[in-house]
Amino acid sequence: MKYVYILQSLKEEERFYTGSTVDLKRRLEEHNQGLSIHTNKFKPWKLKTYIAFDEPDKADAFEIFLKSGNGRAFIKKRL
């Protein structure tokens, strides 16, 4: 199983981060420990939502979409 997740900063609630992992709990802990250079400035983070994929290629494609302009608009409108 591979997860595509969206985090929301508790420091700046309008700040979101999208990523993917096979271990969601561990990855959230890493973000909150400041181990990611992309998210350490805006920690702590909460898990806003996630989607589980049984095909890793589909998870990767969905993550790429969410990081695109249309994907960011989708997130803003739906979340």
DSSP 8-state class, residue 11: S
Confidence bin at 79 (pLDDT 50/70/90) = confident
Checking if the pLDDT of 78 tops 90, the result is no
25: CB partners within 8 A, 6+ apart: none
Question: For a pLDDT cut of 70, what percent of the chain falls above it?
Answer: 100
Domain that holds residue 20: 2-78
pLDDT digits (tens, 9 = 90+) for 32-67: 999 999 999 999 999 999 999 999 999 999 999 999
This prediction has a pTM of 0.93
Give the chain's domain count.
Answer: 1
Q: Which residues pair with 21 in a beta bridge?
A: 3
Q: Report d(CA 34, CA 19) in Å as an integer.
A: 15
